[in-house]
Amino acid sequence: MSLDNNPITARAHTNIALVKYWGKKDEKLIIPNNSSISLTLDEFYTETTVNFDDNLHQDIMYLDNKKVNSIKSITNFMDIVRNLSNINKFAKIISYNHVPTSAGLASSASGFAALAAATSKAAGLNLNDKELSKLARRGSGSATRSIYGGFAEWKKGTNDKNSYAVSIQNPVKMDINMIAIILDNQPKKISSRKGMKISVNTSPYYNAWEKQTTKDLETVKDAIYNNDFTALGKTAELNSMRMHSLTLSSDPSYLYLNKDSLLVINHIKALRDKGIECYYTMDAGPNVKIICQSKNIKKIKSELLQSFDEEKIKISKPGEGIKYL
C-alpha cells in the first residue's frame, strides 16, 4: 500500500480527570503512579491530519495555520509509529486545536490522541482502542483516556503493555455536564510534567495522596455505576484540591490557581448555599470546571455572569471517542 498522498484526519476530544493522576513511575514510557478516571467533553477537541511523503526530509507540523519550529516531542512520537509500522518516511502534520493550548484544559490529551489515531492509520496500522490508548500515552499521559467517549479509566499498569485506558461507560447514563470558565488561555509557566516531578520528589504528602486517590477511584467508579451524581461530584472536587495541595507542599512550591480561580470557587460555594448542587475540579492550570446537572446550568451561568464575560463560559456535555473524518 502506498502511503504517499493518503492523508488521514482524526478528531479527538479533551477529557477532564475526575480522579487525577499526578506523578510518574516511568518518565520515558509515561507510566503513572496511580490510576485515574475522566469524562470526555464534546466542547473541546483537536483535529489532526497526517500525510507521509517521500519528498520530505523531516517531519513538519502546522498548528492552527502556523508552522511549529520546535517539534522534538512530535518527532519522537512519530518515530514510535515508524518503528511499529516499519516505514522510514517523514510526515506533514496539520493540526487544529479547538481548545486553549497548555492552559489546563487537556489540549495535550486531545492533541496526542488525535495524532496517535491519524498517524497510525496513515502509516498503515489498524490499531484497536486499547492499542491506540497505549500509543497515545507515549505522547501525553492523559491522551490515553481521550481515545474513548464518556467515562474512561486509565489503568496505571507497570509497563508499556499493561498501562492503558478502558471505557467505563459510553454513552453516559448520568445527567452530567461541565461548565469550563476560561480564566487564562496562555501556556502555564510550570508544565504538568515538570510540576509532577517536583511534587513526587519533594512533597511530604505524596504517599498519602497516592493512597487516598486509590480510594477516590473506587468511589467514583461506584458512583458512575450507581448513577450517584452527588458522590461523584464531591469526590472529584476533593480529589482535585488534594492534587493542588501537592503543589503548595512541594519544594519549591508552585501554584496553578490564580485569584479568578478562587473567585469561581467562591461562586460555586455560594450556589451550594442556595441549594444548587454543583462541584468544581481543576487540572494543572487556573481554569475551573464546574460539574453540574442540566437543570442547574442556567442558574450557575447566571451566577458566573456576575464576574465573568459570557464568552469565557463554555458549557460541555459528555463527548465521543476517536473519530476519523
Per-residue pLDDT tens for 162-196? Answer: 999 999 999 999 999 999 998 876 777 888 889 99
Quick one: 126 and 226 in the same domain? no
Q: Which residue has the cell 512520537?
A: 77
Query: What are 44-103's pLDDT values in tens digits?
Result: 999 999 999 999 999 999 999 999 988 899 999 999 999 999 999 999 999 999 875 544
Contact (CB, 8 A) for 174 and 227: yes
Spatial CA neighbour of 4 closest among 54, 73, 76: 54
- Given 173, 196, 220, which residue is the final one in a domain? 173
Spatial CA neighbour of 314 closest among 182, 146, 175, 123: 182
Q: How far is CA 200 from the centre of its chain?
A: 20
- Given 128, 144, 173, which residue is the final one in a domain? 173
Say what the pLDDT of residue 103 is: 47
3-state class (DSSP) for residue 128 = coil
Quick one: 106 and 26 in the same domain? yes
Spatial CA neighbour of 13 closest among 39, 37, 49: 39
C-beta atoms surrounding 58 within 10 Å: 9
Quick one: 160 and 192 in the same domain? no
Distance CA 314, CA 319 (A): 14
Q: How many domains does the chain have?
A: 2
Say what the pLDDT of residue 107 is: 81
Joined grid coordinates for residue 194? 515538570
Say what the pLDDT of residue 1 is: 44
Quick one: 20 and 71 in the same domain? yes
Quick one: 137 and 16 in the same domain? yes
Of 29 and 103, the structure prediction assigns the larger pLDDT to 29
What angle do the packed helices 229-248 and 192-202 form, to 10 degrees? 80
CA 185-74-7 angle, to 5 degrees, is: 100
Quick one: 225 and 100 in the same domain? no
The pair phi, psi for residue 104, each rounded to 5°, is 80, 25
Q: Which helix (H) or strand (E) holds 246?
A: helix 229-248
CB-neighbour burial class of residue 128 (10 A; exposed 0-12, middle 13-18, buried 19+): exposed
Distance CA 209, CA 277 (A): 26
pTM over 0.85: yes
Q: What is the mean pLDDT of residues 300-325?
A: 95
Half-sphere exposure of residue 81, counting CA atoms within 13 Å on the CB side?
A: 31
Quick one: 12 and 160 in the same domain? yes
CATH no. for residue 143?
3.30.230.10
Asked if the structure places residue 38 within a domain, the reply is yes
Residue 99 domain boundaries: 8-173
Quick one: 161 and 181 in the same domain? no
Say what the pLDDT of residue 184 is: 74
CATH no. for residue 280?
3.30.70.890
Could you tell me which residues come within 8 angstroms of residue 78 by beta carbon, excluding any fewer than 6 positions away? 59, 90, 91, 119
Quick one: 182 and 276 in the same domain? yes
Give the range among 55-59, 81-85, 206-210, 282-286 with minimum mean pLDDT.
Answer: 282-286
Quick one: 163 and 310 in the same domain? no
Q: What is the mean pLDDT of residues 283-290?
A: 91
Distance CA 185, CA 45 (A): 15
CA distances from 271 to 79, 85, 300, 304 (A): 49, 53, 7, 10
Confidence of residue 106 (pLDDT cuts 50, 70, 90): low
